[in-house]
Amino acid sequence: MNSTNALYIVATPIGNLGDISQRAIDTLNKADIIAAEDTRHSAKLLQHFGIDTRVLPYHDHSNEAQTAKWLQRLQQGENVALISDAGTPLISDPGYRLVRLAREQGIAVIPIPGACAVVAALSAAGLPSDRFSFEGFLPAKNTARFSRLDAVATDSRTLIFYESPHRIQDSITAMAEVFGPDRQVVMAREISKTYETFLSATFAELLQILDTDPNQVRGEMVVMVQGYVAPEKEGDTLSDDVEKMMAVLMDELPLKQAAAIGAKLSGEKKNRLYKWAVENKTER
């Protein structure tokens, strides 16, 4: 521990307890207090490693007054270690407000690196990893979910999402509709745990697996989607009449609905019209 106090952002295991670092254990032992997303959950980890540092809750529902109390502790010279339920704090976990305020007050914020589900999943997925976009959890409501997916439908980077068991099938169904059933996807489940599984498939194939194997909808998931590959321009243009029809439909309807109606009227494939609509929506 440094001679001056700091806010330590400490990564904890996402499954196998052996994934914790010695530096993380030392930091948690020497901190004056630990800020935990869920004190009952973290108590098991701390007990396993014989860490008896005092623990208090800090989570996304902490109000401004509670956040201010944590900041006051830091201002008074205490060393605070921030942990989440698993993995690296602030990666779809609490802590952003406290980190921002601490930095604004000139308090040192020191990361203690370790496990992170998004990085672990991507490293073993076999998808391009030089450029990727972490999208976190999709919205629970269907309309907002489709809106978020529409916004990244033509992103060429590998797209990475977190998802929970009770929403995984709805999310994969929505992705298949927006990204297309033939887009490649890798779903990593229960990373670093006993039943760790990686499923590499098209969306159509993955939906079939989820429908027939209930074990694959258990645990926490990381869903990684191959980036969009633009179709070859040559021979892939629409006729002037179809483009004019799509332009009218796009002015009145969401892109998915415009493509579906356009396909019925023109005989073109719905996916082809949807791709055209996505590529041309910003020009309108």
Query: In the chain, what are the domain boundaries?
Result: 6-115, 118-225, 240-283
Q: What is the pLDDT of residue 267?
A: 87
CATH class name, domain 6-115: alpha beta
Supply the DSSP symbol for 230: P
Here the tokens at position 276 are: 């055209």
Q: What is the pLDDT of residue 234?
A: 45
pLDDT digits (tens, 9 = 90+) for 61-109: 667 888 899 999 999 999 999 999 999 999 887 788 899 999 999 999 9
Measured distance CA(55)–CA(36) in Å, rounded: 7
Q: What's the CATH number of domain 118-225, 3.40.50.261, 3.40.630.10, 3.30.950.10, 3.40.50.300? A: 3.30.950.10
Measured distance CA(253)–CA(259) in Å, rounded: 9
**Amino acid identity for residue 111 in this structure:** P
Distances (CA, A) of 19 to 11, 24, 47, 69, 160: 10, 10, 16, 31, 22
Q: What is the pLDDT of residue 278?
A: 87
Measured distance CA(269)–CA(259) in Å, rounded: 9
The list of the chain residues with pLDDT below 50 reads 2, 234, 284
User: Under a CB-based contact definition with an 8 Å cutoff, are residues 259 and 252 in contact?
Assistant: no
pTM score of the predicted model: 0.79
Measured distance CA(25)–CA(23) in Å, rounded: 5
Q: What is the pLDDT of residue 249?
A: 93
**Amino acid identity for residue 264 in this structure:** K
β-strand 55-57 against 158-163: which pairing, if any?
Answer: unpaired
Helix axes 240-252, 255-266, angle to 10 degrees: 140
Here the tokens at position 144 are: 């907002």
